[in-house]
Amino acid sequence: MRRRPRLPGADVTAWFLERYPPANAALLLVVAVVVHAFGHGGLAPGALAAFAGLWCFYLLVRIVDEHKDYADDLVAHPERALQSGRVTLGRLRLVAAAALAVQAAVALPAGRAASGWWLILLGWLCWAAQDFFTGGRLEGRPLLYPLAHVPLSGLACVWVAQLGAGEHPVGLSAWKAFAFGTLLALAVDLARKLGSDPDRSYGRALGAFRARALLAGVLSALAGTGAAVVQPGVWKALT
C-alpha cells in the first residue's frame, strides 16, 4: 500500500499542536488586551498587534527551549514531533526567524520606548537561554530555576504596556506591569509543577503543604496586582 504524501507544513503543525497549543494563544490574548489597555488608558485596536507580538515572542521562547533541551528530551520524550524526526531544528529556526520578524514589525513602528523594551526583553531571553552563565547549576533546582526565568514574563508585560502607551514612557507604572507578568508566570508554573515532574516539582522541593501555601500566596498577590492593572485600563473602558 502506498503511503499518502504528507501535506506541506504538516510536520510543523504537529509540533505546534504538541508544544505550543491554541490554549496558549487564548491566555496570551487576555494578557495582551489587559496589559495593552493598562498602558493605553483604555481599550484600543492596537491590542491585536500587541497580541501578535506577544504570541510570537513566546513562540520564540518555546523554540529556544527546544534547542536547549533537545538532547535531554531525546531520552525523556522520544515520541515528540521534534525528537522523532517529524520536524527538525532547522525548520524550527525558520519559524523562529518569522516570529522575530513579526515582533520587529510590532515594536519598531511603536517608537523608541517600545523598541527599547523589546530589545531588553530579547537580551534577557538570550541571557536566560544560557542559564545566566551559571554553568548549568540552575538546572534541576525547582526554586532557583523559575525565580531566574519568570522575570521574562514581567518584561514581556512591560513591553506590551509600552506598546499601549505609544511614545509616552510608561514610567513607574512599568513596575505594576512587571509584577503582574512575573506573578502570573509564577502562578502558572507552580500550578503545573506541584508534583508531576520529579526533577522540577515544587511539591518535592518544599513539601505538598508548603507548595500549595506558596501557590495560594502567589495567587493572592496576583489578584491584587491584577486589579491594579485592570482598573485603569479594561475596567475604565467598560464603566
Q: pLDDT for 18-64, tens place per residue?
A: 999 999 999 999 999 999 999 999 999 999 999 999 999 999 999 99
CATH number assigned to the domain covering 10-234? 1.10.600
Residues with Cβ < 8 Å from 138, sequence gap 6 or more? 131, 132, 144, 145, 148
What distance in Å separates the CA atoms of residue 77 and residue 118, rounded to the nearest whole number? 33
| Cβ-based burial of 8 (10 A; exposed 0-12, middle 13-18, buried ≥19) | exposed
What distance in Å separates the CA atoms of residue 119 and residue 2, rounded to the nearest whole number? 50
**Mean of the per-residue pLDDT values of the chain:** 89
Task: Please state whether 6 falls in left (phi above 0), alpha (psi between -120 and 50) or beta.
Answer: beta
153: Cα within 13 Å, side-chain hemisphere: 21
Supply the pTM of this predicted model.
0.91
Rounded to an integer, what is the distance from CA 180 to the centroid of its chain? 13
Q: Pick 103 or 140 by higher pLDDT.
A: 103
DSSP state of 108: G
